[in-house]
């Protein structure tokens, strides 16, 4: 669509500014936070729980670089995206798209991605996405992606947390991506 508009713009100068405006409004409709975990231990605004960040154990390969976030039956919560809506954007999101890569050494039937929306740490609502609800290959990286609609009223003062949770045995996550759609 953009390519077509661009060709039109070349033959007719007056259409050019319109094309640019459309493109910009498309882009500002989304805000993306990506994290490959490589710099997580140094502290990144909007992300927390650095104690769940490790170097991928010897003999295993991280999805990117060397750092990942690990959960198991003892350390239940992964490295997390945690931020107030007012710090993310002046508008409130309509949906949140969460994607990344997961590596599980065992079946981990309850392994999930959770989005928790809270006010002063009191959950207003939360949504979960089960990562192992279909047969998955163990000991290899696979990509996940889920979209959580914001289908209940939220306020700028609410906080959103996104994290992985509920592993009975080790599970590793890497290259997390949180996309806010406005």
Cβ distance to Ca ion smaller for residue 35 or 48? 35
Task: Tally the C-alpha atoms within 13 A of residue 95's C-alpha that lie toward its C-beta.
Answer: 6
Q: Which is nearer to Ca ion, 37 or 113 (CB)?
A: 37
Distance in Å, CB of 101 to Ca ion, minimum: 9
The rounded distance, in Å, linking the Cα atoms of 61 and 152 is 40
Site for Ca ion in 25-44 (CB under 5 A): 36-37
Residue 148 or 172: which CB sits closer to Ca ion? 172
User: What would the x/- binding string for Ca ion be over residues 66 to 105, using CB under 5 A?
Assistant: -x--------------------------------------
Q: Please answer whether residues 173 and 76 qualify as being in contact, where contact means their C-beta atoms are separated by less than 8 angstroms.
A: no
Q: Which of 9, 46, 65, 128 binds Ca ion (CB under 5 A)?
A: 65
- Interface of this chain with Ca ion, residues 147 to 176, rule: CB under 5 A: 174
How far, in Å, CA of 161 to CA of 69, rounded?
Answer: 15
For Ca ion, which is the closer residue by CB, 173 or 180?
Answer: 173
Contact of 32 with 96, CB cutoff 8 Å? no
**Sign of CA pseudo-dihedral 130, 133, 138, 144:** negative
The C-alpha atoms of residue 88 and residue 180 are separated, in whole angstroms, by: 9
Residue of this chain nearest to Ca ion (CB atom):
64
Question: Residue 31 in contact with residue 89, Cβ under 8 Å?
Answer: yes
Binding footprint of Ca ion on the chain (CB under 5 A): 36-37, 62, 64-65, 67, 174
């Amino acid at each position: 669509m953009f390519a077509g508009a661009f060709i039109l713009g070349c033959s007719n100068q007056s259409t050019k500014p319109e094309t640019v405006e459309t493109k910009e409004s498309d882009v500002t409709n989304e805000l993306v936070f990506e994290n490959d975990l490589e710099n997580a231990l140094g502290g990144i605004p909007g992300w927390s729980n650095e104690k769940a960040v490790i170097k991928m154990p010897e003999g295993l390969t991280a999805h990117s670089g060397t750092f990942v976030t690990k959960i198991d039956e003892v350390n239940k919560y992964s490295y997390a995206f945690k931020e107030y809506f007012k710090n993310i954007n002046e508008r409130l999101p309509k949906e949140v798209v969460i994607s990344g890569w997961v590596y599980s050494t065992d079946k981990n039937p309850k392994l999930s991605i959770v989005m928790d929306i809270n006010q002063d740490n009191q959950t207003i609502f939360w949504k979960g996405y089960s990562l192992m609800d279909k047969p998955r290959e163990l000991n290899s990286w696979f990509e996940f992606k889920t979209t959580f609609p914001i289908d209940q009223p939220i306020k700028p003062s609410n906080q959103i947390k996104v994290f992985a949770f509920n592993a009975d045995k080790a599970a590793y996550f890497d290259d997390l991506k949180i996309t806010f759609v406005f």
